[in-house]
Amino acid sequence: MPTFWVAGLAVAGRRLGVPLLSSNDYAPVKIGICGLGTVGYGSYRLLQSNRQELARRVGCELVVSHVASRRVREGQDIGDTRYSTDPFAVVNDPEVDIVLELLGGIDVALPLVLQAIANGKHVVTANKALIAQHGNEIFAAAAAQNVLVAYEASVAGGIPIIKAIREGLAGNHIQWVAGIINGTGNFILTEMREKGRAFADVLQEAQALGYAEADPTFDIEGIDAAHKLTILASIAFGIPLQFSKTYTEGISQLTQQDIRYADELGYRIKHLGISRKTENGIELRVHPTFIDEDSLIASVNGVMNAVMVNGDAAGSTLYYGAGAGAAPTASAVVADIIDVARLIANPQSSVPALAFQGDRLSGLPILPMAQVRSAYYLRITALDQVGVLSDITEILGDHAINIEAIIQKEPRGVDADNQRVPVIILTREVLEQEMNAAIAQIEALPTVAERVMRVRVFRFDV
């Protein structure tokens, strides 16, 4: 069986045939999903909904050929995909190229992953406990079998922090990694602080939203964060996974009083995972932490996660995003599938220069500025005369431009001397060509003294 060295790992399988001329010709890569919980079904759905876009990136179709779950829940639709109740049926299915281990826990997941590896299958997992506690054994088995085990989804949900540290920051000597890596805990602390809610009540909501672990003490006692920190420390410092040596302290003892005192002192309490390299060794610790209220991480609230990495060359870089939930975690799972599937489809390929396969680039046009939609701030310098404001608003109305706010300032200084008055308008979104036309008409009014100052508004949807 031929092997090809890619990113330090040899990859083998059926699948390593002679590269074909066009990416359209590669055989579909078959995926087997073990576990149809929040992440499993989220990944199934993402693979279906983004099917065409994913094929453009990989160069072949990604097909879910087999799923296993104890049951298909109400509202889940897996079409005519082959279904088993036994996850080993997926692992032993000769059709399956990549096994998604999305069961969670260790008891079934560990033998399942080891069997998949023994069967020569690549594995993608979101299981932080499995990687933190048994990763050393799993990666050794995978290396011996020349298969990949990818685990981006195991840390910080939708934030591609594994890739960022392992690849993006590979040129650095990493000094420390610190962050909020448990969404449930951050959600609880945020709600307690902002709404004065009780600990147990918020935890129940996090469970209902699908953020919490099956055993929520993993979240609130810091075990889940310790799993994730163990993984981050390994890839940051090049050390074996050492979960049992992680210091872990939870948030369950914190009271409203502590949160109020922190506020008074100018701090926030966050449940942080911190790993720092020192002369004597590596710190590996999870505990509630006072952080300055002005620091970026202090404003990371709700279920959001954020990880800051300090490297000797890049300095500090910050990664922020949804740390839990079906779609964000599925985003990381599918990214791993793409990495593995690209190698299966064509082992001699590297990541395409423009992210999508060269022969599958889209012909979508770049919009001219006139076709861009934006909201606007307008500063109009008008003569201090009756009817000016109504002339301006009439023009905006004729172009179906909705006004969000309007301020007419009292003229001062030079403006007052010249009998000019600044009119400030904030609009809703509109096509730029409409705004251009409206501005041209406003500037043509005899009562408008200067060119209109326009600044576009962009609202970050977070």
Q: Which positions touch ligand HSE (CB under 6 A)?
A: 157, 182-184, 211-213, 219, 224, 323-324
Report, in Å, the least distance between residue 95 CB and ligand HSE. 30
Separation CA 130–CA 243 (nearest Å): 10
Do β-strands 430-431 and 373-383 pair in parallel, antiparallel, or remain unpaired?
A: antiparallel
Do β-strands 282-292 and 247-248 pair in parallel, antiparallel, or remain unpaired?
A: parallel
Residue 228 annotated among the catalytic residues of the structure: yes
Report, in Å, the least distance between residue 104 CB and ligand HSE. 10
Q: Which is nearer to ligand HSE, 182 or 289 (CB)?
A: 182
Report, in Å, the least distance between residue 214 CB and ligand HSE. 9
Q: Which is nearer to ligand HSE, 297 or 452 (CB)?
A: 297
Q: Which is nearer to ligand HSE, 33 or 212 (CB)?
A: 212
Catalytic residue among 30, 121, 228, 277: 228
Report, in Å, the least distance between residue 210 CB and ligand HSE. 9
- Judge whether 134 and 230 are in contact, CB under 8 Å: no
The dihedral region occupied by 387, where left means phi > 0, alpha psi between -120 and 50, and beta the remainder, is left
How wide is the angle at C-alpha 224 spanned by C-alphas 223 and 226, nearest 5°?
Answer: 60
Q: How many CB atoms lie within 10 A of CB 5?
A: 10
Q: Which two tokens stand for residue 134?
A: 């048994």
Separation CA 194–CA 199 (nearest Å): 12
Report, in Å, the least distance between residue 441 CB and ligand HSE. 53
Residue 428: phi and psi, rounded to 5, are: -80, 180
Q: Which two tokens stand for residue 284?
A: 């590996």
Report, in Å, the least distance between residue 286 CB and ligand HSE. 12
161, 170, 129: which is closest to 8 by C-alpha?
170
Q: Which is nearer to ligand HSE, 250 or 323 (CB)?
A: 323
Residue 54: phi and psi, rounded to 5, are: -65, -40
> Crossing angle for the helix pair 51-58 and 326-345, nearest 10 degrees?
40
Catalytic machinery residues: 228
